[in-house]
Amino acid sequence: MNVFSPATDLFSRSQALRHDYLNAKPWPHVVIDNGFSEESLDAIAAEIAKLDQTHLISSIDDRQIKQEASEGLGPATQRFLELVDSANFREFISTVTGVENLLSDPTHKFAGAHRTPPGGFTKIHRDFEVHSVTGLFHRVNLLVYLNRDWPDSYGGCLELWPSDMSAIGRRVFPRFNTMVLWETHGATLHGLPDPVTCPPDRMRLSVASYYYTKERRPTAAGEHRTSYWAARPEDDRSIERMGWLDHVRAVTPEPLKYLIRAARDHFVRRGSH
Protein backbone atom coordinates (compact mmCIF):
# COMPACT_ATOMS: atom_id res chain seq x y z
CA MET A 1 0.00 0.00 0.00
CA ASN A 2 1.41 3.40 -1.02
CA VAL A 3 1.36 5.68 2.03
CA PHE A 4 1.70 8.92 0.08
CA SER A 5 -1.24 10.53 -1.69
CA PRO A 6 -0.75 10.31 -5.48
CA ALA A 7 -2.12 13.86 -5.76
CA THR A 8 0.37 15.36 -3.30
CA ASP A 9 4.14 15.08 -3.67
CA LEU A 10 5.34 16.34 -0.29
CA PHE A 11 9.03 16.18 -1.14
CA SER A 12 8.72 18.43 -4.21
CA ARG A 13 6.85 21.02 -2.10
CA SER A 14 9.44 21.25 0.68
CA GLN A 15 10.74 24.73 -0.22
CA ALA A 16 7.23 26.19 -0.55
CA LEU A 17 6.27 24.56 2.75
CA ARG A 18 9.41 26.05 4.31
CA HIS A 19 8.13 29.51 3.33
CA ASP A 20 4.70 28.78 4.84
CA TYR A 21 6.36 27.41 7.97
CA LEU A 22 8.50 30.50 8.59
CA ASN A 23 5.60 32.88 8.08
CA ALA A 24 3.07 31.06 10.27
CA LYS A 25 1.73 32.57 13.50
CA PRO A 26 2.04 32.51 16.50
CA TRP A 27 5.28 30.60 15.83
CA PRO A 28 6.72 28.64 12.90
CA HIS A 29 4.65 25.61 11.93
CA VAL A 30 2.94 24.20 8.87
CA VAL A 31 -0.44 22.53 8.30
CA ILE A 32 -0.57 20.22 5.28
CA ASP A 33 -3.78 18.73 3.86
CA ASN A 34 -4.06 15.43 2.01
CA GLY A 35 -0.39 14.50 2.16
CA PHE A 36 -1.00 10.78 2.60
CA SER A 37 -3.02 8.00 1.03
CA GLU A 38 -6.59 7.94 2.35
CA GLU A 39 -6.62 4.15 2.20
CA SER A 40 -3.51 4.00 4.38
CA LEU A 41 -4.89 6.45 6.96
CA ASP A 42 -8.25 4.66 7.09
CA ALA A 43 -6.40 1.45 7.95
CA ILE A 44 -4.40 3.22 10.67
CA ALA A 45 -7.55 4.76 12.15
CA ALA A 46 -9.24 1.35 12.33
CA GLU A 47 -6.21 -0.12 14.10
CA ILE A 48 -5.95 2.71 16.65
CA ALA A 49 -9.68 2.62 17.41
CA LYS A 50 -9.39 -1.10 18.22
CA LEU A 51 -6.14 -1.02 20.20
CA ASP A 52 -5.96 -3.61 22.96
CA GLN A 53 -6.53 -1.97 26.34
CA THR A 54 -3.38 -3.61 27.68
CA HIS A 55 -1.28 -1.33 25.45
CA LEU A 56 -3.01 1.95 26.31
CA ILE A 57 -1.57 4.44 28.79
CA SER A 58 -4.25 6.80 30.10
CA SER A 59 -3.87 10.25 31.62
CA ILE A 60 -6.87 11.28 33.69
CA ASP A 61 -6.71 14.42 35.83
CA ASP A 62 -7.85 18.05 35.82
CA ARG A 63 -5.35 18.95 33.07
CA GLN A 64 -5.78 16.09 30.63
CA ILE A 65 -7.93 13.12 29.74
CA LYS A 66 -6.35 11.14 26.92
CA GLN A 67 -4.98 7.76 25.87
CA GLU A 68 -1.74 6.93 24.07
CA ALA A 69 0.03 3.80 22.90
CA SER A 70 3.49 3.12 21.53
CA GLU A 71 3.24 -0.68 21.74
CA GLY A 72 0.86 -3.17 20.19
CA LEU A 73 0.41 -1.01 17.10
CA GLY A 74 -1.08 -2.61 14.00
CA PRO A 75 0.80 -3.26 10.73
CA ALA A 76 -0.58 -0.21 8.88
CA THR A 77 0.41 2.06 11.78
CA GLN A 78 3.87 0.52 11.96
CA ARG A 79 4.40 0.93 8.21
CA PHE A 80 3.41 4.59 8.43
CA LEU A 81 5.75 5.28 11.34
CA GLU A 82 8.61 3.54 9.55
CA LEU A 83 8.04 5.81 6.55
CA VAL A 84 7.95 9.09 8.51
CA ASP A 85 11.00 7.95 10.49
CA SER A 86 13.00 7.14 7.35
CA ALA A 87 16.08 9.13 6.31
CA ASN A 88 14.29 10.64 3.29
CA PHE A 89 11.35 11.85 5.34
CA ARG A 90 13.62 13.24 8.08
CA GLU A 91 15.49 15.17 5.38
CA PHE A 92 12.14 16.58 4.22
CA ILE A 93 11.33 17.63 7.79
CA SER A 94 14.75 19.26 8.16
CA THR A 95 14.19 21.25 4.98
CA VAL A 96 10.81 22.51 6.18
CA THR A 97 11.76 23.24 9.80
CA GLY A 98 15.45 24.08 9.47
CA VAL A 99 16.35 21.57 12.21
CA GLU A 100 19.28 19.49 11.00
CA ASN A 101 20.53 16.03 11.97
CA LEU A 102 17.17 14.76 13.16
CA LEU A 103 16.94 11.32 14.73
CA SER A 104 13.84 9.16 15.03
CA ASP A 105 12.72 7.21 18.08
CA PRO A 106 11.96 3.58 17.11
CA THR A 107 10.05 3.09 20.39
CA HIS A 108 7.74 6.08 19.68
CA LYS A 109 7.53 6.76 23.40
CA PHE A 110 4.82 9.42 24.01
CA ALA A 111 4.12 9.47 20.24
CA GLY A 112 2.63 6.59 18.22
CA ALA A 113 -1.15 6.41 18.63
CA HIS A 114 -3.17 9.12 20.38
CA ARG A 115 -6.84 8.81 21.32
CA THR A 116 -9.09 11.37 22.98
CA PRO A 117 -12.48 9.99 24.10
CA PRO A 118 -15.67 12.05 24.46
CA GLY A 119 -15.06 14.64 27.17
CA GLY A 120 -11.29 14.30 26.77
CA PHE A 121 -8.88 17.23 26.52
CA THR A 122 -5.28 18.31 27.07
CA LYS A 123 -4.72 21.80 28.48
CA ILE A 124 -2.23 24.18 26.87
CA HIS A 125 1.34 23.08 27.63
CA ARG A 126 4.91 22.98 26.48
CA ASP A 127 6.47 19.63 25.61
CA PHE A 128 9.10 17.63 27.44
CA GLU A 129 12.64 18.52 26.42
CA VAL A 130 14.68 15.36 26.98
CA HIS A 131 13.80 11.77 26.06
CA SER A 132 13.63 9.84 29.33
CA VAL A 133 15.48 6.77 28.00
CA THR A 134 17.89 7.95 25.30
CA GLY A 135 18.69 11.38 26.72
CA LEU A 136 18.24 12.89 23.24
CA PHE A 137 16.69 16.34 22.90
CA HIS A 138 13.08 16.54 21.70
CA ARG A 139 13.03 18.91 18.70
CA VAL A 140 10.17 18.34 16.22
CA ASN A 141 6.58 17.08 16.38
CA LEU A 142 4.59 15.54 13.54
CA LEU A 143 0.86 14.87 13.99
CA VAL A 144 -1.56 13.41 11.44
CA TYR A 145 -5.29 13.43 12.15
CA LEU A 146 -7.44 10.41 11.27
CA ASN A 147 -10.99 11.68 11.84
CA ARG A 148 -13.33 11.07 8.91
CA ASP A 149 -16.79 12.67 8.96
CA TRP A 150 -15.89 14.84 11.94
CA PRO A 151 -18.31 17.81 12.05
CA ASP A 152 -17.37 21.12 13.68
CA SER A 153 -19.72 20.35 16.54
CA TYR A 154 -17.40 17.54 17.74
CA GLY A 155 -14.66 20.07 18.51
CA GLY A 156 -11.17 18.74 19.18
CA CYS A 157 -9.19 21.64 17.72
CA LEU A 158 -5.47 21.90 18.36
CA GLU A 159 -4.76 25.39 19.68
CA LEU A 160 -1.43 27.18 19.19
CA TRP A 161 -0.54 29.99 21.61
CA PRO A 162 2.33 32.48 21.95
CA SER A 163 4.57 32.30 25.01
CA ASP A 164 2.85 35.26 26.72
CA MET A 165 -0.58 33.58 26.32
CA SER A 166 -2.00 36.96 25.27
CA ALA A 167 -4.27 35.67 22.49
CA ILE A 168 -4.73 32.47 20.54
CA GLY A 169 -2.54 32.24 17.46
CA ARG A 170 -4.28 29.48 15.52
CA ARG A 171 -6.84 26.70 15.76
CA VAL A 172 -6.26 23.56 13.70
CA PHE A 173 -9.36 21.44 13.14
CA PRO A 174 -8.53 17.69 13.41
CA ARG A 175 -9.83 16.88 9.95
CA PHE A 176 -8.92 13.58 8.29
CA ASN A 177 -5.53 13.63 6.51
CA THR A 178 -4.36 16.90 8.08
CA MET A 179 -0.70 16.97 9.11
CA VAL A 180 0.81 19.49 11.54
CA LEU A 181 4.57 19.94 11.83
CA TRP A 182 6.53 22.21 14.19
CA GLU A 183 9.75 22.59 16.14
CA THR A 184 8.92 22.19 19.80
CA HIS A 185 10.50 24.24 22.59
CA GLY A 186 9.57 26.28 25.66
CA ALA A 187 7.54 28.87 23.77
CA THR A 188 5.58 26.63 21.36
CA LEU A 189 2.56 26.32 23.62
CA HIS A 190 -0.21 24.10 22.31
CA GLY A 191 -2.98 21.76 23.37
CA LEU A 192 -6.53 20.53 22.99
CA PRO A 193 -7.97 22.58 25.87
CA ASP A 194 -11.73 22.20 25.27
CA PRO A 195 -13.41 18.82 25.85
CA VAL A 196 -14.17 16.77 22.76
CA THR A 197 -17.93 16.48 22.19
CA CYS A 198 -18.16 13.51 19.82
CA PRO A 199 -20.69 10.69 20.44
CA PRO A 200 -19.82 7.80 22.78
CA ASP A 201 -18.94 5.53 19.86
CA ARG A 202 -16.32 7.92 18.45
CA MET A 203 -12.88 9.18 19.53
CA ARG A 204 -10.52 11.87 18.25
CA LEU A 205 -7.67 9.90 16.66
CA SER A 206 -4.19 10.84 15.53
CA VAL A 207 -0.83 9.23 14.80
CA ALA A 208 2.37 11.01 15.82
CA SER A 209 6.12 10.84 15.47
CA TYR A 210 8.62 12.91 17.46
CA TYR A 211 12.15 13.70 16.31
CA TYR A 212 15.31 14.33 18.31
CA THR A 213 18.85 15.67 18.10
CA LYS A 214 21.99 14.98 20.07
CA GLU A 215 22.42 18.69 20.78
CA ARG A 216 20.15 20.93 22.85
CA ARG A 217 18.39 23.73 20.99
CA PRO A 218 19.87 27.15 21.86
CA THR A 219 17.27 29.09 23.83
CA ALA A 220 16.28 32.39 22.23
CA ALA A 221 14.63 35.37 23.93
CA GLY A 222 11.08 34.67 25.05
CA GLU A 223 11.35 30.91 24.64
CA HIS A 224 11.96 29.82 28.22
CA ARG A 225 9.05 28.82 30.45
CA THR A 226 9.40 27.32 33.90
CA SER A 227 5.78 26.11 33.98
CA TYR A 228 4.75 23.05 31.98
CA TRP A 229 1.07 24.05 31.82
CA ALA A 230 -0.33 27.41 30.66
CA ALA A 231 -3.71 29.00 31.35
CA ARG A 232 -5.65 30.79 28.64
CA PRO A 233 -7.10 34.21 29.57
CA GLU A 234 -10.48 32.55 30.26
CA ASP A 235 -9.01 29.58 32.16
CA ASP A 236 -8.62 29.07 35.89
CA ARG A 237 -5.05 30.10 36.78
CA SER A 238 -4.75 27.02 38.99
CA ILE A 239 -3.85 25.12 35.81
CA GLU A 240 -0.38 26.67 36.04
CA ARG A 241 0.19 26.33 39.78
CA MET A 242 2.36 23.48 41.00
CA GLY A 243 0.91 21.56 43.93
CA TRP A 244 2.71 18.96 46.01
CA LEU A 245 1.92 16.24 43.46
CA ASP A 246 3.38 18.35 40.65
CA HIS A 247 6.58 18.80 42.64
CA VAL A 248 6.78 15.03 43.20
CA ARG A 249 6.31 14.45 39.47
CA ALA A 250 9.00 17.02 38.68
CA VAL A 251 11.65 15.06 40.59
CA THR A 252 10.45 11.58 39.58
CA PRO A 253 12.55 10.02 36.78
CA GLU A 254 10.59 9.65 33.54
CA PRO A 255 10.99 5.83 33.35
CA LEU A 256 9.51 5.49 36.85
CA LYS A 257 6.60 7.80 35.97
CA TYR A 258 5.85 5.68 32.90
CA LEU A 259 5.88 2.47 34.97
CA ILE A 260 3.59 4.01 37.61
CA ARG A 261 1.08 5.09 34.94
CA ALA A 262 1.17 1.64 33.30
CA ALA A 263 0.65 -0.11 36.65
CA ARG A 264 -2.23 2.21 37.54
CA ASP A 265 -3.96 1.54 34.22
CA HIS A 266 -3.47 -2.21 34.66
CA PHE A 267 -5.23 -2.23 38.04
CA VAL A 268 -8.00 0.08 36.83
CA ARG A 269 -8.69 -2.27 33.91
CA ARG A 270 -8.69 -5.33 36.18
CA GLY A 271 -11.13 -3.66 38.54
CA SER A 272 -13.56 -2.90 35.71
CA HIS A 273 -13.92 -6.57 34.71
Is residue 96, in this structure, part of any structural domain at all? yes
Q: What's the pLDDT at 223?
A: 73
Higher pLDDT, 104 or 2: 104
For the stretch 103-114, pLDDT in tens is 999 999 999 999
What pLDDT, in 10s, does the model give residues 158-189? 999 999 999 999 999 999 999 999 999 999 99
Question: Could you tell me if residue 212 is inside a domain?
Answer: yes
In a domain, 194, yes or no: yes
Name 126's Cβ contacts closer than 8 Å, sequence gap at least 6.
Answer: 184, 185, 186, 187, 188, 189, 225, 228, 230
Domain holding 53, by residue range, is: 11-241
Q: How confident is the model at residue 133 (pLDDT cuts 50, 70, 90)?
A: confident
Helix 75-84, helix 38-49: angle, nearest 10? 120
Contact 45, 205 (CB under 8 A): yes
> Is 246 among the domain residues?
no
pLDDT (average), residues 125-139: 93
| Strand-pair partners of 210 | 141
Tell me if 142 is assigned to some domain: yes
Residue 202 has pLDDT above 70, yes or no: yes
Split at pLDDT 50, 70, 90, the class of 227 is confident
Nearest to 203 by CA among 110, 69, 23, 13: 69
The answer, yes or no, to whether residue 270 has pLDDT greater than 70, is: no
List beta partners, residue 36: 4
In angstroms, the Cα distances linking 182 to 2, 25, 107 are 25, 11, 20
pLDDT at 273: 47
Domain tally, the chain = 1
CATH number, position 77: 2.60.120.620
In a domain, 99, yes or no: yes
